[in-house]
Amino acid sequence: MPKTQTSRGRVQDRASVAGGQDHEVKYEAEKEGVSKDTVKKAVKSAGNSRKKVEAEIGRH
């Protein structure tokens, strides 16, 4: 996924999940239908790549 720019000129990286950002963890948890804790554990074990996190969640 490409990096996009916000209206304030900041760059967003949609290809990663920031495990320390509650809103990103919440979004991914709702998207995958799992708890926020599950997402945080997946980020911790697989890294912050969105594809790897989703694959890690799918394994459990």
Residue-wise pLDDT tens for the chain (60 aa)?
Answer: 556 777 777 777 788 999 999 999 999 999 999 999 999 999 999 999 999 999 999 987
Nearest CA among 60, 4, 53, 9 for reference residue 31: 53
Long-range CB pairs of 27-35, under 8 A, 24+ apart, other chains included = 28/53, 28/54, 32/57
pLDDT at 9: 78
pTM over 0.75: yes
Sorted by where each begins, the domain ranges of the chain are 19-45
pLDDT at 7: 76
